[in-house]
């Protein structure tokens, strides 16, 4: 099992959400965050200078079975990419164990509902 955490632009969230559902990722957690990037430039809009280093982002986090990792990463990359600086990152970590609290099921079987 793997845990994926993706930091994406808030503006790309709906596209990423839909792409993950098509990649068989049916449950994930997300929250809004603000990050500081390395870019030193500011944006000018209507004669106002806006700091672009402080960027509104959304983190998506989920655990999936190993065989879905590549499909999920591809879905995120394709749907979150704008081609501009600051499109985000994906982090992948190993998960040793998972337990479904309701049933006590352990391991990858605890991640999905059986028919």
Q: What whole-number distance in Å separates Cα of residue 70 and Cα of residue 51?
A: 35
Q: What whole-number distance in Å separates Cα of residue 113 and Cα of residue 106?
A: 13
For residue 62, give the nearest of 35, 33, 92 by alpha carbon.
Answer: 92
pLDDT > 90 fraction of the chain, expressed in percent and rounded: 69
Domain count, the chain: 1
Give the position of tokens 């808030």. Answer: 10
Predicted TM-score (pTM) of this structure: 0.83
The residue range of the domain holding 49 is 2-111
Q: What whole-number distance in Å separates Cα of residue 95 and Cα of residue 65?
A: 10
pLDDT at residue 46 is higher than 80? no
Sheet (strand 29-36) strand order = 29-36, 54-64, 2-9, 88-94
Q: What whole-number distance in Å separates Cα of residue 39 and Cα of residue 5?
A: 22
Query: How confident is the model over 82-104, as pLDDT tens digits?
Result: 998 889 999 999 999 999 999 99
The CATH number for 32's domain is 3.30.70.120
CB atoms within 10 A of CB 10: 13
């Amino acid at each position: 099992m793997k845990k994926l955490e993706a930091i994406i632009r808030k503006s790309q969230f709906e596209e990423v959400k839909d792409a993950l559902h098509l990649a068989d990722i049916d449950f994930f957690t997300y929250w809004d965050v603000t990050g500081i990037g390395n870019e030193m430039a500011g944006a000018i809009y209507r004669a106002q200078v806006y700091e672009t280093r402080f960027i509104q982002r959304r983190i998506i986090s989920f655990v999936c079975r190993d065989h879905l990792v590549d499909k999920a990463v591809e879905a995120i990359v394709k749907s979150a990419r704008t081609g501009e600086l600051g499109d985000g990152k994906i982090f992948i970590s190993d998960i040793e164990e998972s337990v479904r609290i309701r049933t006590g099921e352990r391991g990858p079987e605890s991640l999905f509902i059986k028919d």
